[in-house]
Homo-oligomer: A and B are copies of this chain.
Amino acid sequence: MEQKVGKGSLCYKEPPFILSSASVVGTKEGEGPLAEEFDCIGSDDKFGQDNWEAAESSLQQEALTLALGKAKKKPEDIRYLFAGDLLGQLIASSFGLKRFQIPFFGLYGACSTCGEALALSSMTVAAGYADYAAAVTSSHFASAEKQFRFPLEYANQRPAAATWTVTGGGAFVLGKKQDESGALAKITGITTGKIVDFGVKDSMNMGAVMAPAACELIAQHFADFSRAPKEYDAVITGDLGLVGQEILLDLLREKHVDIADIHQDCGIVIYDNQAQGTGSGGSGCGCSAVTLSARYLPKLASGEWRRILFVPTGALLSPVSFNEGASIPGIAHGIVIESIKEDCERRS
């Protein structure tokens, strides 16, 4: 297979490895279904800082520190750092990662940023530009509410379609080769999303904004790679939530693509929505990152799963454009992650 496939995908000739990953989350995430799987749960959502933005920076700093430790790497071993968050001018990333002194590419793809960072870091490593690169993303419930909606002190009510921004930071160390400490999985290809705007204007229904972008990305992916859903153990979207999931599955059926049996959504699995009052589910740059690290990479590392399509989804919402009455465009980025367990490869 060629390196460039279809209209928007790459299939790596030498797939880069995910050497390590780490997840750091807040208290609410630590009370949810994935509690046992996260690397670190904060005892306080301020993470010892004076404000929410600095707390979010701590999430990135801690996540990258942990991921570097697991991969037995020092910051100076990492040639490029790809990172982003939801805040204006990416302050969670700038302030959280500046101390590592790694050449830095700041990214913004709303909640799809984890996919954008894994896409660009895998492209960089696969091209031979770096032996090691890292991808880091975060979100924080309180900094996001302040940025996009209302001050927490208002205690505003939330409609059922609203999602709950995950307090979490995830980091991934990618390498051209497996070292002595092994690897979790490999990234075998990517599908890069376009901006999709269905004209949705409801900032309390991000699932409806992102589902059309996820649908186009997933359909494009299967077309580009000439593969069927059954060739994947799971298609995992970032943070569509329950409302967005229903729309996605419906939209895909219109394109004669049925992923109902294998679809999972990080925003749905990260909370017990009923018990935790999180509406349609979790969201944010951190949601897909910590869930991939804590829940899904272990399934690939153990060989339980062979191949997934990981699709972080983003709503390109800004308080300024929203207040000006603009629609909210969406975007999604697809990453093909495969197991490196030999028994899995034999099965394939």
CB within 8 A of A98: which of B108, B192, B197?
Answer: B197
Check: A80 CB closer than 8 A to any chain B CB: yes
Q: In the complex the two chains form, is A103's CB within 8 Å of B193's CB?
A: yes
When the two chains form their complex, are residues B94 and A329 in contact, meaning their CB atoms are under 8 A apart? yes
Stretch at the interface among A120-128, A161-169, A275-283: A120-128
A148 to chain B, nearest CB (A): 9
Residues of B within 8 A of A222 (CB): none
> Taking the complex as formed, is A318 at the interface, i.e. its CB lies under 8 A from any CB of chain B?
yes
Q: A27 in the interface, Cβ–Cβ < 8 Å?
A: no
- Please tell me if the beta carbons of B109 and A105 are within 8 angstroms of each other in the complex: yes
Please give the count of copies of this chain that the complex contains.
2
B residues near A225, Cβ cutoff 8 Å: none
**A195 is contacted by which of B104, B109, B127, B331 (Cβ under 8 Å)?**
B104
- Closest-by-CB residue of B relative to A2 is B128
> Is residue A107 contacting chain B, with contact meaning CB distance below 8 A?
yes
A contact residues, total (Cβ < 8 Å):
59
CB distance from A233 to the nearest CB of B (A): 25
Interface: A319 (CB within 8 A) = yes
Q: Which residues from chain B contact A90 at a C-beta distance below 8 Å?
A: 108, 316
Contacts of A53 in B (CB 8 A): 320-321, 324
Prevailing SS type, chain A contact patch? mixed
* B104 contacts A4, C-beta separation under 8 Å: no
Q: Which residues on B sit within 8 Å (CB–CB) of A70?
A: none
Q: Which residues of B contact A129 (CB under 8 A)?
A: 3-4, 10, 123, 127
Q: Contact at B98–A329, with CB atoms within 8 Å?
A: yes
Q: Say how far A6's CB is from chain B's closest CB, in angstroms.
A: 11
Q: Does A248 contact B (CB under 8 A)?
A: no
Query: Which B residues are in CB contact (< 8 Å) with A103?
Result: 8, 192-194
Chain B residue nearest to A191 in the complex (CB): B103
A308-321 toward B: CB 8 Å interface, digit per residue (1/0)?
Answer: 00000000111111
For A194, what are the chain B residues with a Cβ–Cβ distance below 8 Å? 98, 101-104
Mask: chain A, 88-113; 1 = CB below 8 Å from B; 0 = not: 11110011011001111111111000
Looking at A87, A89, A110, the one whose CB has the most chain B CB atoms below 10 A away is: A89
Interchain Cβ contacts under 8 Å between A and B, 25 examples: A4-B129, A4-B130, A53-B320, A54-B326, A86-B89, A87-B320, A88-B319, A88-B320, A89-B108, A89-B317, A94-B195, A98-B194, A98-B197, A103-B194, A104-B192, A105-B107, A105-B116, A106-B116, A106-B331, A107-B107, A107-B108, A120-B120, A123-B124, A123-B129, A126-B127
